[in-house]
Amino acid sequence: MAPLPAPRHICITGASSGIGEALALTYAEPGVRLLLTGQNQIRCKAIAEACRQRGAIVESVIVDVTDTDAMAVLLTAADDLQPLDLVIANAGIAESAADPRRVFEVNVLGVVNTVLPVIERMKQRRSGQIALVSSLAGYRGLPGAAAYSASKAAVRAWGEALRGSLAPYGIGVSTILPGFVVSRITDRNTFPMPFLMPADKAAALIRRRLGRNRARIAFPWQMALAGWLLSALPGWLCDRLVRRLPAKET
């Protein structure tokens, strides 16, 4: 599929910090309308204002992405106002030893709730782009982040499958697999994080590759290669290696 036109109406979930915040600021410019969602009202308000200062038209909404009905109403109304060109399903949470169900609800159901309301509309228009934020942890289940890596693997597989099924309708689908990116989640990590990337640098890279309609946006390349190789190793060897990895912070 050829590169897609520059998006003019963009939805970004989980825009209150980290990659979501950086993406909002990266896309904020005159002529662009942004629909930003998050859970923290103070942070969302500040990010929305920063985007307005850059010339964008911004709607900031506090919503739980696991609320199927609320997400459908929100996205349908936004698309009625102006057709959504790009939807970035970014909202996610880290590992939770106390409640792994919540990890799956946010990281998987939240992505589904973000994408499903716009698919049929984009198919009718035969245009649009969807980006699903997975993780390099989605290449292989990690003992220290069982629910997180499993949820991100589900997002990766779904995104890859959607790309093929939606391509005949002119819809681009990209799966984003970041390594360690500066955020509130990584701020809590006490272990070494190789190739830790600033959020603004990650967002700029994502925007460039979305513009080229890349199927998989995995970075940094060193970590992406390591993750891919890890998934290809024999099970017995992979088990030995991943047991040495630190647990993800809760």
Q: Looking at the annotation, which residues are catalytic? A: 148
Other beta carbons within 10 Å of 226: 17
d(CA 19, CA 69) in angstroms, rounded, equals 25
Is it true that the peptide bond before 192 is cis, omega within 30 degrees of 0? Answer: no
d(CA 122, CA 118) in angstroms, rounded, equals 6
d(CA 227, CA 138) in angstroms, rounded, equals 9
For residues 89 and 47, is the Cβ–Cβ distance under 8 A? no
In the chain, the amino acid numbered 8 is R
User: Of 57, 164, 68, 171, which Cα lies nearest the Cα of 110?
Assistant: 68
Question: Can you spell out the DSSP letters for 82-110?
Answer: S--SEEEE-------SS-HHHHHIIIIIH
d(CA 52, CA 27) in angstroms, rounded, equals 11
| Core vs surface per residue 113-136: b (16+ CB within 10 A) or e | bbbebbbeebeebeebbbbbbbbb
